[in-house]
Amino acid sequence: MENNKENNTSDYIHYYEVKMNAFTEYSAAVWNRFNWILTLQLGAFGLFFTEIIGVRDNIGASNIFQLLGVLICILWVLVGIHDFLSLRKHKSNVAEIDEIIKNRMQDLWNKKPKESPIRLTWLLFIFPIPLIIFWGNLITL
């Protein structure tokens, strides 16, 4: 009976490894996307402030860059919310199997496994909100 329990646990561990690999790859893609959108936002800042310093009379060009900044922020929030919800779903899938493995490990080896690291996934959609406020204030000026 004990051998059967160990084999069953190894199946759970393999399933957990597969789920964690998928979660890790998706998480890396999410943060890569976050960095790309951050780069676009920094480009919009650079274009706007270069335009302001270089040509103060061309209000139309600076308005275009302000609008571009707002659009990038709105895209960032929408993508961030989607990624946040997807990561929560992946995390809950992994958490179910993680709990089973923790219980089995405690039963078999009387060990307590390490806790998973906490990820700051709320940054995905909270970070651009102050930028939307900033761009909105610039547009109204």
Domain ranges of the chain: 2-140
139 within 8 A of 62, measured Cβ to Cβ? no
Given this model, what pLDDT does residue 1 score?
Answer: 44
Give pLDDT tens digits for 74-122.
888 898 888 888 888 877 777 777 777 777 766 666 655 555 554 666 6
Q: Give the pLDDT band of residue 61 (cuts 50, 70, 90).
A: low
Q: What Å distances lie between residue 71 and 65, 68, 75, 119, CA to CA?
A: 10, 5, 6, 27
Position of tokens 């709320």?
A: 122
Model pTM score:
0.65
Position of tokens 């199997």?
A: 97
pLDDT at 7 over 50: yes
Give pLDDT tens digits for 36-53.
988 988 888 887 777 666
